[in-house]
Structure 1
Amino acid sequence: MSSLELSEPTEIDHPKVSANKIATARRQVVDWFQQQGWKPFRFQRQAWNAYLDGESGLIHASTGTGKTLAAWMGVVIEGLAEQKTLKSSSSSKKRTVRKQTPPTRVLWLTPLRALAADTLGALTRPVDELQLRWSVESRTGDTSSTIRNRQRSQLPTVLVTTPESLSLLLSRTDTQSQFADLRLVIVDEWHELLGTKRGVQTELCLARLRKWNPKLRTWGLSATLGNIDEAMEVLLGPHNPSSIENKKDNSAASRVLISGVKSKKITVDSLIPDTIDRFPWAGHLGLRNAPALVAAIEEAASSLVFTNTRSQTELWYRTILAAKPEWAGKIALHHGSIDRSTRDWVENGLRTGSLKSVVCTSSLDLGVDFSPVDRVFQIGSPKGVARLLQRAGRSGHSPGKLSRITCVPTNAFELVEIAAAREAMEEGHLEGRTPLTNSLDVLTQHAISIAVGSGFDSFDLLNEVRNTYACQSLSDEQWAWILDFITSGGDALRAYPDYHKVIVDEEGFYRVTDQQIARRHRLSIGTIVSDASLTVQFMKGARLGTVEESFMAKVNPGDQFFFAGRLVELVKIHESTVLVRKSKHNEKAQVPRWMGGRMPLSTELASAVLKKLDAAAQGQFENPEMKAVQSLLELQQSWSHVPRKNELLIERCKTREGHHVFMYPFAGRLVHEGLSSLFAYRISQRVPITFSMSNNDYGFELLSSSEAPLEEAILNGLFDADSIDEDISNCINAVEMGKRQFREVANIAGLVFNGYPGNRKTARQVQASTGLLYDVFKNYDPNNLLLKQSQQEVLERQLEKQRMLDTLQSMRTCKIIWKPLLKFSPMSFPLMVSRLRERLSSESFADRVRRMQESLEKAAGKDDTREGKAN
């Protein structure tokens, strides 16, 4: 059935609008598409009809296939049908603006402020050209004070905003009346919010809007997601099936999942080095692949070069520019710490086609609107299948166009990961996002926001938040604790008036009446907590961006570092500003490091890697990447073993350093960090022994001066999941990790105030405050729910507890392959090198690794010669 044959929707729930007017408006929209040289896709028409039927849902489609217009044009059709016919010519492109535009009827939530301007342009164009008399504006942290002040008296018909700005709006007393005509909320890039505290914040805001208008329609836009059904349930709230008679009540309406264009072709290939080291270590190829990358960039008219960290972005940009200085002004870099004006310049350069290439992080992963580039490059492993797919979609960024992504490995094993990711992508094995539940810090912040605004009845707000996926299991006891905490500070802080933020008035309503408390709370709304940042600025010139305070603490005046693509020298740090001057080339210049760069291999990609290794163990090397590492894997098989599915490889060897144990669960570096500490602790409980440890995405190393009784430990429950919480607390620096995580929880819940704009507290001051509160709660209020949440988040987020439990279960059932080593195998070598990296300077470290590689290659060469003679 073609898109034109889709059934018409029933008459929408606005009696003044007839089906004929809806049909006429739909024809206007289809005509507008034809004027652009487009034809509506079937899934776009499905979305329009579902909206006009009063339904909510989720649109799931690849990047660049028209999700925005699928979600947007349904409400445009509705607006056109309700609007009186203009007297001016319908062919006019000039927008007719009335003094009084309709009140707010659409909220468009975007996860990034950077997307707001692009979204605004995409929404405004059809509104203008179809002469729909609506005002379309944005409201984010980048919005000028003039516009914000004007919006206080009247919000636009369509408001593009972020979860944080929406929370801020809900803290106003007049927001309910301004949203009285709200009909639609569209949540863009829902896959980026799902599984985060910003997602929980969005859920709670949506629950409030639905309470004000039970017929509110909610639509999400998502791409590259594995658990799409669960994603829709989280967005729309727990689903209670109802009879068809209640369909017009959106709280009971059916949910519609719409899949977009699936025919988009994606090609994944690699820049394979001329020679492959058979003893690789993390990052060792590094910039050695730069000449091949530069040549590939030169062949393409336009390209994006994605990295996994901001530090890599700075490094690769400098390397490319050094190789091609004539590209100055034609290439750029883009990441979240660069000044907004520079990022705007880069994004405009992509739109106009004036830039040949941009080196970037995930800051350009999402829906920033620009012309499609010819090619996309990925530096290093993508670490996840969905991430590879999302980035690939940035080339050929339109329906029917071929998307191509070329991966640039930074070590030989990443070639296996690239081959595995391509196969998993072709088979549709994408990662899901695990939704968060009972994030009490976010709920605490939300409750105070509502108290700052209109106030709340405790029973009503409890029922409201229980209509979200995140808080559906919230207990009466937990809610009572939150109410006590926001009114009195809880057991430990009851004597301190600063923590008595909310009062209960004579009518039993919870309100914030102190204007200073209200102001400080509004300044603190949000769930993104990062290391304190400092502004980087030239002594007599422009602002470059922000760098984390923890990095600058190690930089002295006169030291040089790369930032925003420039080599600068630190002059001094004045208050919260890093003052720098331009500097000349220096090979010892540092590259800033930002928090959040430790991205583990996803479960889906790890499984796909094991599948490729299983095939290699059977002599199957079917694609260029696997053929490139064939010699490496054959040496691994000769000296040890190539692990197959349902096998756990354990290698052991003795060197002058001591006794080495290498285990390969293939569960990602975070899980391996926890497992190595857990196993070291459990073995030490049986015999007095001390371990040094290292880990990567494939496995971990335990090094001890005496041989560990490993077989005995396994027989006696080394892999058991019993008492895992207690054992982990005993084997890691649980107090320090808990304090770090509590800093985030305390910030979100409003326990600490980071200062006013222009007078922000330093990271040390904030850490001191949260550390003191952590100690107070631990000693005097051990049942504090925020303390318990931070301890649980250490397990779930920093050590991936559930994945660790799954891994332990797998290890108990796997066949163990014991392999004694005479020399380090190709798989054990990077683990050993990772441990050495922590002890040696960069120069001596690189020299030592090279010598070890040469020694092992010499031994491998002798084995190759003997094998050749035997054959």
Structure 2
Amino acid sequence: MRRKADASHAAQAAERWFAARGWTVFDFQRQVWHAAAAGRSGLLHAGTGSGKTYAVWFGALLHAEPALGTLPAPAAAAQGLRVLWITPMRALAADTLRALQAPLADLLPHWQAGMRTGDTGAGERARQMRSLPQALVTTPESLSLLLSQADARQRFARLDAVIVDEWHELMGNKRGVQVQLALARLRRWRPQLAVWGLSATLGNLPQAMQALLGEAVARDGVLVRGEQRKRIVIDTLLPPQPARFAWAGHLGMQMLPAVAAEIEASASTLVFTNTRSQAELWYQNLLQARPDWAGVIALHHGSLDREVRDWVEQGLREGRLKAVVCTSSLDLGVDFTPVERVLQIGSPRGVARLLQRAGRSGHSPGRVSRATLVPTNSLELVEAAAVQQSMAAGQVEQRPVPDAPLDVLVQHLVTVALGGGFRPEELLDEVRGAWSYRRLREDQWQWALDFVVRGGQSLTAYPEYHRVRADADGVYRVGLPAIARRHRMNIGTIVSDASLHVQYLRGGRIGVIEEGFIARLRPGDRFLFGGRMLEFVRVHEMTAWVRRATSGSGAVPRWQGGRLPLSSTLAHAVLDQLEEAAQGRYAPPEMQAVRPLLELQQAWSALPTAQRLVVESLKSREGHHLFFYPFAGRLVHVGLASLLAWRLAREQPATFSIAVNDYGIELLSASDAGLAQLEFGAPHALFSEERLLEDILASLNATELSQRRFREIARIAGLVSQGYPEQPKSARQLQASSALFFEVFRKHDAGNLLLTQAQTEVLEQELELQRLRATLAELRRRQLTLARLARPTPFALPLMVERFREKLSTEKLADRVARMLAELERAADKSMKGKP
């Protein structure tokens, strides 16, 4: 009874704290408070800026301290970690910490809140090693480091609640799996632990909650949906004269004056781009167009130095900046109340991404969020109409959860062996409590255990891979200090290409850049980075030394993974819009603007829809072209193009050149063998799911793809080390080391499950095999329309440009496209003459 009365008093204290600030407590916040105070776990799904942080934070406080708002507790009772807050990004940790500290001074003055990330200084780390604060904000990697300490169980002995922020960003990757395993460990030590996740813009909420809580806990879990009070307005900045022929990015800077006018009309704006390269170009061009904005517009992306990003974020908070050109580095978490507008350059490629970015404006409960889409080619107008349709229908992408990645498990085994040790049968039960490993087979477990104990079948002769051994009591621990040091230095699942620091010869650091880009530069070459034109001088000790370039233009770095694929949800919405256009209905303003292009496509060929697969045939001086329009996204099209080329060539020998984009596929060959099969063969056999896996592996250089993927797996599993902080290994060194292991395993340990994982990840992540299978089923159901062309259609031209881009410099590409456009426009004028 006493605890119940304390809980009621604590809830009243929380309500008073809100009221003192003129805030209203929403019903969904109270729902979380009551559930958490009762010790239940769950997932809160609410839009950005809706008040979900304080919903779970006060819930955790009510659970941990029913006497919230009363006299301070005795000093002895206050010691120890009580609430753990996990954030996906170090950049969010400081802002989160400030938000969590705000109520403590009034309600729990004897509590301390701290932060532990890769940016935490050595002095603070040392203090935390002696005693952790009552509330700790940390990242998945830093949590794993804490779990690797020999006294880890004692450190978490008083833990009452764990909050995982931005769970939708974590659940679909290996960092989320790392969190799952960490939570399973904490639940074993603290069975009554309350775990809450925060999520926004997510389609598969029940699965998200199961992945967070584990199958057993999720049965009693609470799924809370935040109130939809926040109004989101999405509109499009229409180009004055949308072209009838589009190619990727060709509108681009033609929209610069309109974008500058939108920025001018608002007090503060975030200009989102999809890639860091695009952010660099837009920032530079905005400054050239408006030199008077120097100092009030800024650039923000993940490769810039931490100090630069901190300055930009603080400038947003204080309202000193009029605009920031940014990437996904500002998608999450940081509270920018002054920001009025969001501009999205190019298609967001997904509904969830646009919702997340729209929420950065009006970032507080009750305020309207507005995002304006800025198309960079005419076809993106169709995507703009489609994304608004999807949002109105509440259709948001789902995020799949990885299934039992063994590289993460291998790393976790060594972490647990360091953190007090384990007994295999107990740890297996614990690991299966993590959602991704709920169906972990006994043979997989035994393989992983054998791999960390003796290096598996092929590394038994190398003591450095005998990382874990059983002591006299049957407890598995790490025996050698050198292995312990190396493991702690490489904990984590974030794997990227090796990067170099970019630094002035006389001055500070600007940021980091991928080694592969710098390797192509010669001294004196110019490149655009950090919004500045730089001249490359030399590379020394993993640093690219530069000076300011006085004038001229230069290359723009292209980072790996730059191009975002079209999501399945948005792809289907695009086909719905094309179906409407095929029926002569152009209701949205975006579709009215792109109508000339679509009508020309229909006149020369046909419009693809969910019921019709359009295949176009064209003979040119280059050879015979086949264009397919599945509208399944770039990643699916890579696998599908190779599959179609393989199957066509199997029936009649031919060599194909391939180009893909988010809408379609081009196959170019010297003969018309492919066309003949489509006309006289059984075209739907091309889209059969029979022998799909075998044909995909045969059609691609599967060994090369798997070897590249294996580099990441080898790093996570601890086979190769990234080196030390001041002496990181280069991409070439990492690739060479991992390639050596790959070949050893392939020749002498063919059953090595890390090899199997590499192949599976290539198929599932790089080629989206499940989505490819679903696409094939859809294509078989569609009616095939084969169109013989006299010239490229508006849908075909972008695919041809994709292929040209691989062979031609930027200048030569622009010249060739300009010639083609002139010819096509003349033909279009003639064929559409007299039509309304």
Fold match, TM over 0.5?
Answer: yes
Distance 1:326 1:26, change over 3 A: same
What residue identity is the alignment partner of 1:155? L
2:611 aligned with 1:634: no
2:121 paired residue number: 144
What is the rounded CA distance, in whole Å, between the counterparts of 1:40 and 1:684 in structure 2? Answer: 65
1:186 paired residue number: 163
1:505 Cα deviation after fit: 1.4
Instruction: Give the 3-state SS of the residue equivalent to 1:460 in structure 2.
Output: helix
Q: Which digits, 9 at most, give the CA deviation of each residue in 1:431-488, with x for residues without a partner?
A: 0100111100000000010111211100001000001110011111011101111111
Distance 1:252 1:411, change over 3 A: closer
What is the rounded CA distance, in whole Å, between the counterparts of 1:115 and 1:213 in structure 2? Answer: 27
Which of these residues, 763, 775, 794, is aligned with residue 826 of structure 1? 794
Which of these residues, 574, 577, 580, is aligned with residue 546 of structure 2? 580
Which of these residues, 732, 745, 749, is aligned with residue 764 of structure 1? 732
2:587 aligned with 1:622: yes
What is the rounded CA distance, in whole Å, between the counterparts of 1:78 and 1:833 in structure 2? Answer: 59
What residue identity is the alignment partner of 1:225? L
1:585 Cα deviation after fit: 2.7
What residue identity is the alignment partner of 1:675? L
Which of these residues, 258, 263, 277, is aligned with residue 292 of structure 1? 258
1:62 paired residue number: 47
What residue identity is the alignment partner of 1:383? R
Instruction: Give the 3-state SS of the residue equivalent to 2:759 in structure 1.
Output: helix
CA contact (8 A) 1:261 1:399 kept: no
2:35 aligned with 1:50: yes
Distance 1:97 1:759, change over 3 A: farther
Which of these residues, 467, 471, 485, is aligned with residue 433 of structure 2? 467
CA contact (8 A) 1:80 1:132 kept: no
2:210 aligned with 1:233: yes
2:57 paired residue number: 72
What is the rounded CA distance, in whole Å, between the counterparts of 1:132 and 1:650 in structure 2? Answer: 69
- 1:636-785 pair list within 5 angstroms: 636-707=601-672, 708=674, 709-711=676-678, 712=680, 714-715=682-683, 717-785=685-753
What is the rounded CA distance, in whole Å, between the counterparts of 2:109 and 2:198 in structure 1? Answer: 24
Distance 1:426 1:339, change over 3 A: same
CA contact (8 A) 2:684 2:780 kept: no
What residue identity is the alignment partner of 2:82? R
1:21 paired residue number: 6
1:370 Cα deviation after fit: 2.2
Aligned residues: 833
1:330 paired residue number: 296
Q: Which digits, 9 at most, give the CA deviation of each residue in 1:822-846, with x for residues without a partner?
A: 1111111111111111111111110
Instruction: Give the 3-state SS of the residue equivalent to 1:581 in structure 2.
Output: strand
* Percent identity of paired positions between Structure 1 and Structure 2: 54
What is the rounded CA distance, in whole Å, between the counterparts of 2:823 and 2:47 in structure 1? Answer: 48
Instruction: Give the 3-state SS of the residue equivalent to 1:858 in structure 2.
Output: helix
1:796 Cα deviation after fit: 0.6
Query: What TM-score comes out, normalization by structure 2 length?
Result: 0.98
Which of these residues, 210, 213, 226, is aligned with residue 187 of structure 2? 210
1:7 paired residue number: none
CA contact (8 A) 2:61 2:68 kept: no
The more displaced of 325-334 and 21-30 is: 21-30
1:159 Cα deviation after fit: 0.6
What is the rounded CA distance, in whole Å, between the counterparts of 2:460 and 2:202 in structure 1? Answer: 45
What is the rounded CA distance, in whole Å, between the counterparts of 1:132 and 1:76 in structure 2? Answer: 13
2:411 aligned with 1:445: yes
CA contact (8 A) 2:500 2:513 kept: yes
What is the rounded CA distance, in whole Å, between the counterparts of 2:583 and 2:440 in structure 1? Answer: 51
1:99 Cα deviation after fit: 9.0
What is the rounded CA distance, in whole Å, between the counterparts of 1:265 and 1:676 in structure 2? Answer: 41
CA contact (8 A) 1:79 1:132 kept: no
What is the rounded CA distance, in whole Å, between the counterparts of 1:219 and 1:80 in structure 2? Answer: 16
1:513 Cα deviation after fit: 1.5
Distance 1:229 1:83, change over 3 A: closer
Q: Which digits, 9 at most, give the CA deviation of each residue in 1:75-97, with x for residues without a partner?
A: 3335554369449xxxxxxxx99
What residue identity is the alignment partner of 1:683? L
What is the rounded CA distance, in whole Å, between the counterparts of 2:724 and 2:655 in structure 1? Answer: 48
Which of these residues, 396, 413, 428, is aligned with residue 362 of structure 2? 396
1:597 paired residue number: 562
1:100 Cα deviation after fit: 7.8
1:315 Cα deviation after fit: 0.8
2:131 paired residue number: 154
Instruction: Give the 3-state SS of the residue equivalent to 2:776 in structure 1.
Output: helix
What are structure 1's unaligned runs of at least 5 residues?
1-10, 12-16, 88-95, 240-250
Instruction: Give the 3-state SS of the residue equivalent to 1:838 in structure 2.
Output: helix
1:283 Cα deviation after fit: 1.0
CA contact (8 A) 1:76 1:127 kept: no
What is the rounded CA distance, in whole Å, between the counterparts of 2:179 and 2:397 in structure 1? Answer: 22
What residue identity is the alignment partner of 1:386? A
1:436 paired residue number: 402
Distance 1:503 1:801, change over 3 A: same
What are structure 2's unaligned runs of at least 5 residues?
none
1:715 Cα deviation after fit: 4.5
What is the rounded CA distance, in whole Å, between the counterparts of 1:463 and 1:20 in structure 2? Answer: 38
2:773 aligned with 1:805: yes
What is the rounded CA distance, in whole Å, between the counterparts of 1:18 and 1:493 in structure 2? Answer: 57
1:562 Cα deviation after fit: 1.2
Instruction: Give the 3-state SS of the residue equivalent to 1:107 in structure 2.
Output: strand
Instruction: Give the 3-state SS of the residue equivalent to 1:134 in structure 2.
Output: coil
Instruction: Give the 3-state SS of the residue equivalent to 2:807 in structure 1.
Output: coil
CA contact (8 A) 1:395 1:403 kept: yes
CA contact (8 A) 1:438 1:474 kept: yes
Which of these residues, 94, 107, 119, is aligned with residue 130 of structure 1? 107
Distance 1:820 1:302, change over 3 A: same
Instruction: Give the 3-state SS of the residue equivalent to 1:783 in structure 2.
Output: coil
1:495 Cα deviation after fit: 1.3
What residue identity is the alignment partner of 1:762? S
CA contact (8 A) 1:683 1:713 kept: no
Which of these residues, 282, 286, 289, is aligned with residue 316 of structure 1? 282
What residue identity is the alignment partner of 1:761? K
Distance 1:85 1:63, change over 3 A: closer
CA contact (8 A) 2:39 2:63 kept: no
What CA RMSD, in Å, does the superposition of the two structures yield over aligned residues?
Answer: 1.5
2:380 paired residue number: 414
What is the rounded CA distance, in whole Å, between the counterparts of 1:262 and 1:102 in structure 2? Answer: 39
The more displaced of 828-837 and 603-612 is: 828-837
Instruction: Give the 3-state SS of the residue equivalent to 1:592 in structure 2.
Output: coil
What residue identity is the alignment partner of 1:620? R
CA contact (8 A) 1:272 1:408 kept: yes
Instruction: Give the 3-state SS of the residue equivalent to 1:82 in structure 2.
Output: coil
Which of these residues, 306, 326, 351, is aligned with residue 317 of structure 2? 351
1:171 paired residue number: 148
1:645 Cα deviation after fit: 2.1
The more displaced of 344-353 and 679-688 is: 679-688
Instruction: Give the 3-state SS of the residue equivalent to 2:381 in structure 1.
Output: helix
Which of these residues, 277, 300, 307, is aligned with residue 341 of structure 1? 307
1:130 Cα deviation after fit: 2.5
